[in-house]
Amino acid sequence: MQSAITKIDQVLVQAPRVITIAHRLKEIVRDGVVIEKRPTQLAIFLPGSEKPREIALKDESDELDFLLSRNEFAEDGLRVGDVILAQMGGSGAFFAFALSRRLEELGSGGVYWISSTVFKRVSDDQGIDRSRLKKIDDDGRRVETTFDHLALHAVAKVAWSSFYRVGVRERDNILLRAAYEQRKEAMLARMATAARVRQRAIGRIFCSAVGKYPEGKVEDLIKAELANDKVLQALETEEARAERELKKLLRSLPVWKVFDPIEGVGELTAAPLVVAIQDINRFAKPSSLVAFLGVHCLKADGSKFQKGEQPTGGILARRRRGQLSNWHPDGRQALYQIGQQFALWRPHSPWGQVFSAVRAGFVEKHPNRQVWVRNGSGEVIERIDLVEGQNKRIAGGYVIPDGNGGERTVKGSTKYNPLHLTKMAMWRTMTLFVGWLWEAWRNAEVGKPAPKLPRLKIDAEVVADQATGT
């Protein structure tokens, strides 16, 4: 996805029509009853007019009629030169896909979309109304309306550089996301069905009417049931088909040139990370991608470091009660799986060696285990070095020398043990990996080689407590 750097007067002002779209899932159904209708809302802005013509597309047939300018939308439907504004991804991705391709066929115009997060931030900063209204229709059902389609036009005027044109690569990303979701759904359905078949088989074995239980291993009988279940077989076939499609689509993207040489990272490992990021050009600098994927450093209280503030004594971002986790969960989970490959299964690979160097730096910085004693509010009030052979482990803490020939009991969490250092090093390595990925992906988009891997000294400066508590 290439950034839309075109001046606003070349797109919004010169367009014969600017159409803003707030796409919605058309119905909310509960217990088989439609309780809320949610039409897709359009606003058509003509040059020199601030008051648009508003249209509601009540179902997918209306959307196709608008796309092809037919039936009741023969006059207001898509035209040559139309500029479409929408929010990125979500339920409207397929509609944006079709609109983009149709405008390319017509020869002019285009679809431009903006990240939902950026859209909301700009709207709030500029005081642009995005409130939702709900009214009751003639059938007694709620109809949701929003001002998002109107707000998009206002946001575009003040933040046009945040919009991206939907082209061939963006449509490929939409297909990749769809394939990823299909494979995920098929996998979950297969796992749920396998669990049901297994429980059914156990019930047949233990609840035999004649009380004659079969000889042999129970697990063999369960496997036989699983192998003969027609529904499970169909789901396995569907999962395999979706997996093949996902791999094929991912391999067709430029970013696969980045992942293909990395030991331990295959299509199924890379896919959730690529789907989460969508397009690397959304992120102006490596730190933006690091924060998006949740491998950034926060202050000990969970707040962000301010611009120019050195992230010393910080902790790795993690979920905390009462705080918003504003990173992509699937992307972070994918990084965890990749980090496991580098740390545990591929120690001699290039990135495994980076991990080893990072861990060596942490070991040098923290040669002794520590007990962290906290007060009632969770604040660390004492850090005590543990010396091998001079302390005794108890539930929740240690018995250690008091310095006067006696002993004292301290309770708290243990830090800088081998497992803790490994986790710290793994997450620090993934932070380095994401920074490298940002540059490597951008290079791949323009046919340039990937950058070299980070070269670390054992005594390199590292964030002291980056993975604490994860």
Boundary (domain end) residue, out of 224, 253, 282: 253
In this structure, are 200 and 222 located in the same domain?
yes
Amino acid at 387: V
Number of domains within the chain: 3
Residues 434, 30: Cα–Cα separation, whole Å: 42
Judge if 422 and 342 occupy the same domain.
Answer: yes
Do 87 and 185 fall into the same domain? Answer: no
Tens of pLDDT along the chain (470 residues) come to 444 444 555 777 788 899 999 887 766 666 666 666 778 889 999 987 778 888 888 888 999 999 999 999 998 999 999 999 998 877 788 999 999 999 999 988 899 988 888 888 888 888 887 766 555 555 655 555 667 788 888 888 888 888 888 988 889 989 999 999 999 999 999 999 999 988 888 887 777 666 566 666 778 888 888 888 899 999 999 999 999 999 999 999 999 999 999 999 999 999 999 999 888 888 888 888 988 888 877 655 555 655 655 555 555 656 555 555 667 888 889 999 999 999 989 888 999 999 999 999 888 888 888 888 887 777 777 888 887 777 777 777 788 877 777 778 888 788 888 888 899 899 999 999 999 999 999 999 888 998 888 876 543 343 333 333 33
What's the CATH code of the domain at 68?
3.30.420
Do 140 and 176 lie in a common domain? no
Note whether 162 and 107 are same-domain residues: yes
What are φ and ψ of residue 398, in 5° steps? -145, 155
Specify whether 129 is located in the same domain as 203. no
Residue for token pair 């539930």:
395
Residue 348, judged by CB atoms within 10 A of its CB (0-12, 13-18, 19+), counts as exposed
- Closest-CA residue to 20 (of 140, 130, 139, 156): 156
Phi, then psi, of 328 in degrees rounded to 5: -85, 115
Cβ-Cβ contacts under 8 Å for 345 (sequence gap 6 or more):
264
**Domain boundary at 130, 150, 166, which?**
166
Q: Let me know if residue 377 belongs to a domain.
A: no
What's the whole-model pTM score?
0.77
Q: Which residues pair with 34 in a beta bridge?
A: 29
Q: How far is CA 319 from CA 298, 306, 378, 467, in A?
A: 12, 20, 15, 12
Domain stop point among 253, 270, 292 = 253
Statement to judge: residues 80 and 198 lie in one domain: no
Residue 405 located in a structural domain: no
User: What's the pLDDT at 442?
Assistant: 92
Is 313 in the same domain as 461? Answer: yes
Which domain does 422 fall in, by range? 254-366+416-470
State whether 469 and 430 are in the same domain: yes
Same domain, residue pair 359 and 460: yes
d(CA 218, CA 201): 9
Assigned domain for 76 exists:
yes
Counted residue by residue, the chain has a size of: 470
Residue 205 shares a structural domain with residue 263: no
Instruction: Tell me if 235 sits within 8 A of 186, measured CB to CB.
Output: yes
Locate the DSSP E strands across 282-337: 297-298, 315-316
To the nearest 10°, the Cα dihedral for 426, 428, 429, 430? 90
